[in-house]
């Protein structure tokens, strides 16, 4: 599973980073991005889903 952040939807709430700081990074302007381009470890998928559900802008996309 991969995660990505839709840059047009992200408003910089950074809840995803609070939940999974190893899966997301924050840029100089306060917006989130995925920390990696490859698949996330299976043991981190639950936190990735939690981060996606916590995003008020629904900017986190989960891809198989």
Mean pLDDT estimate for the chain: 97
Q: What confidence score (pLDDT) does residue 7 get?
A: 95
Integer Cα distance of 31 and 44 in angstroms: 21
pLDDT for residue 26: 98
Name the CATH code of domain 2-63 (choices 3.30.70.20, 3.90.550.10, 3.40.50.720, 2.40.50.100): 3.30.70.20
Which pLDDT tens digit goes with each residue over 8-27?
999 999 999 999 999 999 99
What's the pTM? 0.92
Residue 63, burial from CB neighbour count under 10 angstroms (0-12, 13-18, 19+): exposed
Q: Coil, strand or helix: which one is 17?
A: helix
Contacts 24+ apart (CB under 8 A), 27-36: 31/5, 31/7, 32/5, 32/59, 32/60, 33/5, 33/7, 34/2, 34/3, 34/4, 34/5
């Amino acid at each position: 599973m991969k995660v990505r952040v839709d840059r047009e939807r992200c408003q910089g709430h950074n809840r995803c980073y609070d939940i999974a700081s190893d899966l997301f990074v924050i840029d100089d302007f306060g917006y989130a991005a995925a920390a990696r381009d490859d698949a996330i470890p299976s043991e981190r998928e639950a936190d990735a889903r939690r981060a996606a559900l916590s995003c008020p802008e629904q900017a986190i996309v989960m891809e198989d």
